[in-house]
Structure formats: C-alpha cells, structure tokens
Amino acid sequence: MLPYSSAGEAEAALGRAMTPAESAWFTYSASLPDHLLYCHNVAILLVVYTIAPLPFALLDILRSPSPPKLQPRAPRLSPAQILRCYLDTARILLLTVGALSIFSFPVVQAVGIRTGLPLPSLGEVALQMLVYFLIEDYLGYWIHRLLHTPWGYDYVHRVHHEYPAPVSYAAPYSHWAEVLILGVPSFTGPALVPCHITTMWLWFVLRHVEAIEIHSGFDIPFNPTKLIPFYGGAEHHDYHHRVGQKSQSNFSSVFTFCDYLYGTDKGYKLHKASLTKLKEIAENNLEQAHLEQTRKSDFDKKP
C-alpha cells in the first residue's frame, strides 16, 4: 500500500511529476495492501499458462505440417488429452503457487521487493531480467541434474517426463514437489537483486513464456529467440525429453553454456551430427535419382 493519500502528495515525495506509468500504478495500487499485490503472481501465472500455449496447442490439434514438429513420428495428442493436461497442471499450480504466495510474503518483504514509487527505468528492468535469467539457468541446471538421479527421477521428475514429445501445455506439468523446488532458482534472482513488484511480475511472465516455448515441440522458422546468444530453444530441450529418464544431455532450461562447460551436451551433439549426415545422404540420393531420371529421359528421346 502506497504511503500517500493523494497524487499530489506522491509527486511532492518524488520531487517531480509522475510519469503516465507511475500515475496508472498509483491509481491501481494506492489502496491495495502489499500482500495482495504479491498474490497477483497466482492470477498472472494462471492467465499466462492459459493463453500463451494456445497457438502451439492449436497447431498440434490441427495437425499442421508447418512449422514442422521436432518429433514428427511421435503421436500427437487429442484435444481431450491436451485439456486433461491443462486442467491437471492448472490445479497443481493453483495449489502450490497459491500456498507459496501466502506463506512466502515475509521473505519477499525481507529481501526488499518494493511496491512503491518511483517505478524502475527500462534499463534497470532489462539488466535485472538478464541477471535473473542467468541465475535461474545456472541453479536450474544443477537442480535438473539432481532430479535425474535415480531417486529424484523415480519419485519426482518422472511426472514431467510423461510427455516424451512435449507440448506447450505440458511445460509446467510436474509433481507438486518439483513445482516448489524449481521455484527456488526462479526466486533467487529477485532475492539477490531486489526489484519492484512489477518487475517481478514481468520476470515470472517471461520465464513462463520461455518454458512454454521450449516445450512447444515445434521448430518455428524465423523465431526471434534464435537471435539470442547461447539460447537453447525448443530443439535443445526437445532432445532432452526424447531421451527421457536416461538423458545425460541438455539440462539447461534457457541457455546452453552450462551444458557446454560441464560436458552434458555430448549426446545432443552426436544426435545433431547424425541428423546432418542423414540429411546429406538423403540429398545425395535425391540428386542421384534426378540424374538417373535425366539420363533415362535423354536415352528415351534418342531416335
């Protein structure tokens, strides 16, 4: 709750006029307690989870040949199966993230997540997003490796791997314990580099959208995320799901440098090399067939 009774009082405290964004924030949040603002995380997460995967799910349902599936031979889920995945995941998210939002608020206050004015600049937000993604990726890498130990996989992580050919709505589909465990690297960034509550909302939105994209199962041409240095994307993570329980490759959730540094990308590199070799063989065979057809046509034309 903002400690100002009027916009004029807020501007006097700032020593300047509020920006349009700050005016909108003042109007919305002035009378809302901080705990309630923090609990917006639950609603934001559910809205993003409902809407963001929908375009990919429609491509699956419509059996669209373009963009191509990363696992084209894997059976596609029916609308009923996709709906069941959504409902099961939404229930787990509501229960786990909802409970966490209630009980973790004292921690949020203690680390310095603020709700007041001024709002952060775009540059500040951009730098914080970069730091949060790097921290989440590094910690998430090691947690993911632990979840692939026999005990971690059998009792927790196997639920997430029930979809060997992942779909967008299966991005957060997990055991309730895994949802809580993976909340640790997501919250560590804001805990180490405190931000405004609106920045934390944006961080959770971007992280969730990124998870949905890498679980989409589609290789999207001209995807702007391919321009991000070291970004793994759907192809990188899809291989991890393809291998499943015995996977020792591609544990990183966002970037690829941890897998490179710690040598857990070897299987993926071999897989990529074999695909390239098969493509070259197929192209050579096609070229040979074309030459044979051309020679036959020339021979048939002779008197």
pTM beyond 0.95: the answer is no
pLDDT at position 302 is 57
User: According to the model, what pLDDT value does residue 271 have?
Assistant: 83
Question: What average pLDDT score do residues 28-39 get?
Answer: 92
Let me know: does 33 contact 25? Beta carbons within 8 Å.
Answer: no
pLDDT in tens, 16-30: 999 999 999 999 998
Mean pLDDT of all residues belonging to the chain: 90
> What's the one-letter identity of residue 287?
E
Angstrom CA distances, 34 to 8, 27, 120, 211, stand at 21, 14, 17, 28
**Tens of pLDDT, residues 196-245:** 999 999 999 999 999 999 999 998 888 888 889 999 999 999 999 988 87
Long-range contacts of 60-67, Cβ-Cβ distance < 8 Å, separation of 24 or more? 60/167, 60/168, 60/217, 67/218, 67/219, 67/220, 67/221
Q: Quick one: pLDDT at residue 245?
A: 78
Burial of 225 per CB tally in 10 Å (0-12, 13-18, 19+): middle
Q: How far is CA 181 from the centre of its chain?
A: 16
Q: Quick one: average pLDDT of 180-206?
A: 97
